[in-house]
Amino acid sequence: MNKYLSNKKLIGILISVIAIAALIALSVNRTKNVNPVQQGVNDITSLASQVITAPVNAVSNTFEAVDNLMHTYDENKHLKSRIQKTEELQAQLDAVEAEQKALEDELQLSHSLSEYEKIHGTVISRNPDGWIDQLVVDRGSENGVEIGMAVMSQNGLVGRVTEVSPLSAKVTLMTTANQRDNLVSAEIHVEQAGSDQTVDEQEEDHNEKESTEEIVHGVVEGYDQNTKRLIMEQITSNADLHEGQVVYTSGLSNQTPRSLIIGTIDEVTSGDFGLTQRVYITPAADFDDIRYVTIVKRLAEKAPEDMEASVQNEDQPEQDDQDVEESGTANGED
């Protein structure tokens, strides 16, 4: 006993345990971005990682290209069937956009909650542990990435930027448990008189049918690891939700734009106390295969809560800086 655990060693172990516990506690309770030293370390490591990732991605893309080539015939057949519909939709979209622009000019609006810019990035690393499901992407603050921005992959929302360095950023995926700062406010568009629409039709008609729809709000706040489905809670409405309906972001989160696809409803159950509904969502993105991401920068600057204050000042004429805020509110309450 004395040989291995002398007083000196015991004190050393005690100090080490306290130091590690303090380090973990400080890291977990961090509210701001990481310090410049950590940012530097992350950037240097991510640059080294890109050196390894680049050739691997090149080989992987070659195999994917060959695979795509083999499926060209089927894809072509499918796309041909959609061309006519796309042309019709484009014409409708042009008309709606022109109308929206005219209305925005009339109301002196700058950007709605649905407008956003995209920053494309490559995933260079992923936390092997999997307990905290985080990606490292090769885009950082120098590319305009900011903490809180929504991140998409394969047309579906996958998570949010939680840490930014000049040349790289970390994305926490929605599959992470205990995602305190990664909750997503979501909405489901429910037809008032019931609907027999398919998922594709719902996506296409999403923007134009809002007047005849009830919008059901909730929060995506969990992930079922066994069934690989997202869980949406806090649904206060008793609206008839059913399998196949599309779940979108509502734009009510801090920096997430509206109308990003999260997934489709797979199952509807009642919540823990039977007072609310719980929705299981099949994600639109494949969380197991994320190699390229699109970081989404919402053009409307502020969250709706902050904007309410600015709406109350609408009567004041000199508000050049607050035009963006008012535009967000007007659209957010649509």
Partner 1 sequence: MLKKAVRPMAKIKQFFIPFFLFLFFLLLDGMVNVQFNSFFSFRSAEMVLRTLFIALYLFSFRLSHQQSLVFALLFGLLYDCYFTSILGIHMAALVIVVILVDWIKDRAHLNILTLGFFSIFIYLFYASFVFFLNHWLGFAQMSYWTFLISRFLPSLVLNTIFYFILYSPLQMIMNGLDLPPLEKLDI
Single residue of 231, 241, 290, 303 touching partner 1 by CB under 8 A:
290
- 296: closest CA among 152, 175, 122? 152
- Output the CA angle 264-328-210, nearest 5 degrees: 45
Q: Compare residues 286 and 314 and give the one whose CB is closer to partner 1.
A: 286
Q: What is the C-alpha separation between 230 and 224, in angstroms, rounded?
A: 6
Q: Compare residues 15 and 79 and give the one whose CB is closer to partner 1.
A: 15
Using CB under 8 A as the binding rule, whether residue 288 contacts partner 1 is answered as: yes
235-239 long-range contacts, CB within 8 A, separation 24+: 235/271, 235/276, 235/277, 235/278, 235/279, 236/276, 237/277, 238/277, 239/188, 239/190, 239/214
Q: Give Cβ neighbours of residue 202 (< 8 Å, ≥ 6 apart).
A: 189, 195, 245, 246
Q: What is the C-alpha separation between 39 and 170, in angstroms, rounded?
A: 11
Single residue of 5, 12, 15, 27 touching partner 1 by CB under 8 A:
27
Binding window for partner 1 (CB under 8 A); candidates: 25-33, 98-106, 109-117, 274-282: 25-33
Using CB under 8 A as the binding rule, whether residue 170 contacts partner 1 is answered as: yes
Single residue of 105, 196, 289, 315 touching partner 1 by CB under 8 A:
289
Using CB under 8 A as the binding rule, whether residue 82 contacts partner 1 is answered as: no
CB of 29 to partner 1, least distance (A): 10
Chain contacts with partner 1 (rule: CB under 8 A):
16, 20-21, 23-24, 26-28, 30, 34, 38, 41-42, 45-46, 48-49, 52-53, 56, 60, 123-132, 134-136, 163, 170, 176-178, 225-226, 286, 288-291
